[in-house]
Amino acid sequence: MTNILVTGGNGQLGSEIKDVALKYSNYNFYFTDSSDLDITNHEKVEVFVAENSIDVIINCAAYTAVDRAESDVALSDEINHLAVKNFSEIAKDQNIQLIQISTDYVFDGTNYQPYIESDKTNPQSVYGKTKLDGELVMKQIKPENSIIIRTSWVYSSYGNNFVKTMMRLGRDRDELGIIFDQVGTPTYARDLAKAILDIIPQLKTKEVEVYHYSNEGVCSWYDFAKAIFELNTISVKANAIETVQYPTPAKRPLYSVLNKSKIKTQFNVEVPYWKDSLIKMLEKIKE
């Protein structure tokens, strides 16, 4: 039996892992959140891992309030960077696997073709910088059989996200302005959860490897919203607007399409098309 610690257990990805966990009879899960385990406290994490004979840590915990992070730099750094340092040191000392979840925000969004793992990073926000610092410290410490998975535009039937916001606003308002010049790929957290759990038995690395995972296809936030409205028969008028018309404290990448060839080839991961996954998520909400 493989003992797996999932941090951020009540977040979007953690909740989806909890949902699909029943299909993995050879795994025993420990789901924690900030009230159960302070991931910024090295000693507490070390004790928890030792007492529960943890074999794998999946770190889904993150400071994801992108705009708030611009003024809450210290806490963002503690959770997105220093906690990863704790996990990396403990993983190395106790010879356990670490899967760190990262983000497209480590890039500046100026590419014109899908980002591969070795492309130059250049975060434009505190959130992106602290997530990149987490990646760098993990690579520096080098826990074996451990990987970083960058993802983008995550949504789920759990928690707050773009899909739920569009459904709520679409029913409350007559028209909405939605950004059309930021392009990427939505990621259904359930698909990512399955990919992670399928990858675990295949992890054999000396260096910390980076992989990209999002759903297949490309769209803008405007396209994504239009699909949400159509699938829910919401008749709100959607107006395409530019990023400059909707200023935010944190700068968003204009282009954050991720190339998934590496994860698909090395781990035989199947990646669903974004709209097919959106349909499945909406069906789950209606159940």
Distance CA 18, CA 5 (A): 11
Could you tell me where the DSSP H helices lie in the chain? 12-20, 42-51, 66-69, 73-77, 83-94, 126-141, 162-172, 189-199, 221-231, 261-267, 274-286
Query: What pLDDT was estimated at residue 63?
Result: 96
In tens, the pLDDT along 137-147 reads 999 999 999 99
In tens, the pLDDT along 140-188 reads 999 999 999 999 999 999 999 999 999 999 999 999 999 999 999 999 9
Band of the pLDDT at 287, cuts 50, 70, 90?
confident
Neighbour-count burial of 25, counting CB atoms closer than 10 A to its CB (0-12 exposed, 13-18 middle, 19+ buried): exposed
**CA 248 to each of CA 243, 244, 271: distance values in angstroms, whole numbers, following the listed order:** 9, 9, 31
Mean pLDDT, residues 83-90 taken together: 98
Model-level pTM? 0.97
Residue 104's closest CA among 77, 85, 122? 122
* Domain positions in the chain: 2-161+186-217+257-272
Mean pLDDT, residues 52-77 taken together: 97
Domain 2-161+186-217+257-272 class?
alpha beta
3-state secondary structure of 231: helix
Q: Which of 63, 105, 115, 127 is catalytic?
A: 127
Mean pLDDT, all residues of the chain: 97
In this prediction, what percent of the chain has a pLDDT beyond 70? 100
Mean pLDDT, residues 70-82 taken together: 97
Number of residues in the chain: 287
CB atoms within 10 A of CB 221: 23
Among all chains, which residue has been given the structure tokens 């000392």? 93
Sign of CA dihedral 127, 218, 240, 13: negative
Q: What is the largest CA-CA distance in the chain?
A: 57
127 is catalytic: yes
